[in-house]
Amino acid sequence: MPETVAGPRILVIDDASLVRRYYRDALERAGFRVDEALNGIEALELLLSSPYDLVVVDVNMPKMDGLTFLRALRSRPDPVRAVPALVTSTESGAHDRLAARAAGANFYLVKPLAEDVLVAHAAALSGWHR
């Protein structure tokens, strides 16, 4: 029986359950391993307890929004600060993209995302080649 190679671990951070489910389904079909968090606070807790290859993070969330999460992540002294971050948002202005980059985003995509776009960016940012 052939050995199954597990893909990179991705943490999807979004307060909308429908969005999390869509991302999870698309990424798992492509071979990624996916965990979920509802906000930046939950995400930081997960990142400190287990390594991830990529975070996919929404901007607008309760408790701790995506940009605050990224600033907190990038200010950490440990290696977890280097995890690549794909920011997704309904906000499409140039200032939104610049704010995300300044907070520590590696790439910014505007929702809604096509499945192939999400998967391609996740593969590129996590360094995974199937």
**How many domains is the chain partitioned into structurally?**
1
Residue 127 lies in a domain: no
CATH number at 93 reads 3.40.50.2300
Residue 28 lies in a domain: yes
pLDDT digit string (tens) for 28-73?
Answer: 999 999 999 999 999 999 999 999 999 999 999 999 999 999 999 9
Per-residue HEC secondary structure of the chain comes to: CCCCCCCCEEEEECCCHHHHHHHHHHHHHCCCEEEEECCHHHHHHHHHHCCCCEEEEECCCCCCCHHHHHHHHHCCCCHHHHCCEEEEECCCCHHHHHHHHHHCCCEEEECCCCHHHHHHHHHHHHCCCC
Neighbours of 100 (CB within 10 A): 25
pLDDT of residue 29: 95
pLDDT category, 75, cuts 50, 70, 90?
very high
pLDDT of residue 4: 53
pLDDT of residue 77: 87
Domain range for 28 = 9-98+105-112
Residue 129 lies in a domain: no
Mean pLDDT of 117-128: 95
pLDDT category, 128, cuts 50, 70, 90?
confident
- pLDDT greater than 60 at residue 123: yes
Residue 122 lies in a domain: no
- Burial category of 62 from C-beta neighbours within 10 Å (exposed 0-12, middle 13-18, buried 19 and up): exposed
pLDDT of residue 2: 46
pLDDT digit string (tens) for 95-108?
Answer: 999 999 999 999 99
